[in-house]
Amino acid sequence: MTKKSIISTLLSIIFVLAIVFLDPKSDTLDGFNKNYERSTYFENCTTENSPESATSTLFHVVDVSDGDTIVISQGCKPVTVRLIGIDTPETVDPRKPVQCFGKEASDYTKTNLKGKNVTIETDETQDIHDKYGRLLGYVILEDELGNKINFNERLVEEGYAHEYTYKVPYKYQERFKTAESHARESQRGLWAMNVCSQ
């Protein structure tokens, strides 16, 4: 091999490793988000709840990666959850600049979910995990009156997310599409005048 081809090969290897270890959407460490900062929440944990098998169990939200991706506790370890049916503007992808209204969407999710206990609802029309190993689900909150709130839908209603269908229609697709239409008509969030170029 020539010196030039050796350098080219080394650069290719470095590039691939950089994508694997820097891509926040790539959960390469046992299916968990490598950007997650371990907290004292896990120091004394003893239970082993599984969101894949029990939709009635509450899970603690220990971190928020961005507007549509959170980290919950599953027993003594963190599990990354990608919210079904929505897409918020990017804030943490190193390959892209922060997108318009991304910070606002991320902050909204942090304010409403971080530190809260939620139910994770999976959808039989979708895979359990995406190609990055993230659990796919709807995040269900309960308000002071005991009403169940689909947080995925709330993000779309308030204009923090687009409705997003990945390959196969999901259970709440029509509701989410209607929610986006109302957000657009009401010019909420990213649909507000002069907020983002549309």
Q: Which one of 104, 134, 154, 157 is the catalytic residue? A: 134
| Dihedral sign of CA atoms 144, 114, 128, 138 in order | positive
β-bridge pairing 77-83 and 135-142: parallel
Q: Which one of 43, 48, 52, 90 is the catalytic residue? A: 90
b/e map 14-47, b = 16+ CB within 10 Å = eeeeeeeeebbbbbeeeebbeebeeeeeeeeeee
What are the residues facing 140 on neighbouring strands? Answer: 119, 150
Instruction: Tell me the C-alpha distance between 163 and 186, whole Å.
Output: 16
Question: Is residue 144 annotated as a catalytic residue, yes or no?
Answer: no
Q: Which one of 38, 43, 48, 82 is the catalytic residue? A: 82
% helix, strand, coil for the chain, step of 5: 30, 25, 45
The answer to whether 66 touches 58, Cβ cutoff 8 Å, is: no
Question: Is residue 82 annotated as a catalytic residue, yes or no?
Answer: yes
Annotated catalytic residues are 82, 90, 134
